[in-house]
Amino acid sequence: MKAKFFFLLWLLTVAAFAQKKTAPAAPFNPFIGLDAFVNQMLTEWRVPGASVAIVKDGKLLYAKGYGLKDVKNNLPVTEKTLFPIASCTKSFTSAALAILADEGKLDWNKPVKEYMPDFQLHDEYATRTVTARDLVSHRTGLARHDWTWLYANLDRQSLYQRLKYLPLSKPVYAQYQYNNLMFMTAGVLVERISEKSWENFLREKILQPLGMKQTVLTYPELFQTADYALSYRDNNGQWAEQGFGSNVDAIGPAGSVKSNAVEMANWLLMQLGKGKFGEKQIVSEANLKENHTPHIIVSPAEITFSELGYATYGMGWSINTYRGFLRLAHNGSIEGYRSQMAFFPNENLGVVILTNTGLADYYFVNSVCNYVSDKWLNLSAIDWPSRLKTAQAEAKAKTEKAKQDNAAKRKSDTKPSHNSDSYTGTYQHPAYGSFALEARGDDEFIGVFHGLPFTLKHYHYDVFEGTGVFDQTKFDFRIDAKGAIDRVMVTLSNAGEIEFKKGAPSP
């Protein structure tokens, strides 16, 4: 009896083991944990709202909104909530040029001057040499000069006509220099060749064929829609609305598309589909490949994390490798909005993340994008949030050290060479516009530039330092042959020294 019992127990054990051994493994599900992760990131990085979409193998597999699009009224983000995508727009403008190339109206390598005789840069060689390809690959030699358009009361044509007053900081092709004004110029080129506005060309040739019916290209259009996200900045721990005064629509081809996760998924599907969406060939495979081909090394050449390859730039796309996989991506930043789109052409995978605060800079979108990439590429998980928090802390420490170094460089016991009235007045630059200075005490001035207030405080000698819109910017006042203050050299980030002449007329 005992032997029969043990034999029966043995049979049951073998049967159970065999059943366990042959039971099929649970299918891999990259969606597991995604919701919890995104919501956790919203909390950790302090982001009011976000929208995420994932495409794979020609299909939209995931689109969802998280958090709030309107904090005051407690309104949630949906997958159809519109966000300004900022510089992700650049890929649209590059695709517009590709379509013109398909139509035989544009040669990538022909100088822009041959299409637009009034095209003029400060350097004559650059003027005669720069091509459409160069405009959208950040290799013209022109520094950013973003303060020519930011918050300025200028339209696209006015900004285009002022390019000739902006000095190049590098020779053509010498170095990667990210540039919004050159993408704006590419939009002007689209307009001249097509005889349509950049906005209408995009609507007809790209947005409508892609079914991007809710995507808009200007703020007035955005404000007429019912579902768009407000952007936010931190105000002593509370959210405050950022506003919409940047003037980005004027440089629209560089950054004015406003879209949602679902429709941006269509954009990525077209990129992954080699220019095709559904049965429609939006842009030829050959000319889209021109957009996707590296044209310049992003400098300084450095690898922040070992999983990332050296960065290059094509036309409207940053190109590198992520953990050994080819990746094309772009970020966007305007008025508190942050966005990121990325796709892996060889894995037929794409992801887009849209957010409504700049408080976390790109750390939030990178955390989510990398998490999704790891999951869908079936890679071992990397704790990107911890890594990026370390990077954020290091960046803050670097900024603080720069402030300390700046204070240490100041020469004490110096004073301005002239009385305060000698520095007051209006200072002008033919591309940047003007600002007026009024004295407030012996060594302090107040001014307004493009409608934004700033203060100048004495740094040393005839150098003053800005606060407000010109925070930590140096203003170096100069004298003429008679000893009178006649100009000021303003050292602007990503532009260099810009000379504003006292009392000089605008162009």
pLDDT digits (tens, 9 = 90+) for 57-69: 999 999 999 999 9
Query: Tokens for 310?
Result: 């050296």
Local structure of 209: helix, strand or coil: coil
Distances (CA, A) of 308 to 41, 322, 327: 22, 5, 10
d(CA 218, CA 393): 36
Cβ-contact 261, 354 below 8 angstroms: yes
d(CA 139, CA 150): 22
d(CA 472, CA 457): 10
CB 173: neighbour CB atoms within 10 A? 16
pLDDT at residue number 29: 82
Give the dihedral sign, CA 434/255/232/362: negative
Query: Which residue from 269, 281, 272 is spatially nearest to 326, judged by alpha carbons?
Result: 272
Lookup result for tokens 């190049």: 168
Query: Tokens for 153?
Result: 């009361």
What angle separates helix 285-292 from helix 90-102, to the nearest 10 degrees?
Answer: 140
pLDDT at residue number 11: 46
Q: Alpha-carbon Rg of the chain, whole angstroms? A: 27
Q: CA-based angle 464:470:476, to the nearest 5?
A: 30
Cβ-contact 103, 214 below 8 angstroms: no
pLDDT at residue number 28: 65
pLDDT at residue number 299: 82
Local structure of 157: helix, strand or coil: helix
* Structure letter (DSSP) for residue 299: S
Q: State the 10-residue block means of pLDDT for the chain, 507 residues long.
A: 47 47 60 94 98 98 98 98 98 98 98 98 97 98 97 97 96 96 98 98 98 98 97 94 96 98 98 97 98 93 85 97 97 96 98 96 96 96 95 94 92 93 96 96 91 96 95 96 96 93 69
d(CA 379, CA 371): 10
Local structure of 124: helix, strand or coil: helix
Query: Which residue from 490, 506, 459 is spatially nearest to 145, judged by alpha carbons?
Result: 490
- In angstroms, the first-to-last Cα distance of the chain is 110
Query: Tokens for 377?
Result: 């590429």
d(CA 385, CA 298): 24
Fold of 420-502: Lipocalin (2.40.128)
What is the CATH code of the structural domain delimited by 34-399? 3.40.710.10
Give the dihedral sign, CA 345/351/356/357: negative
Write down the domain spans for the chain: 34-399, 420-502
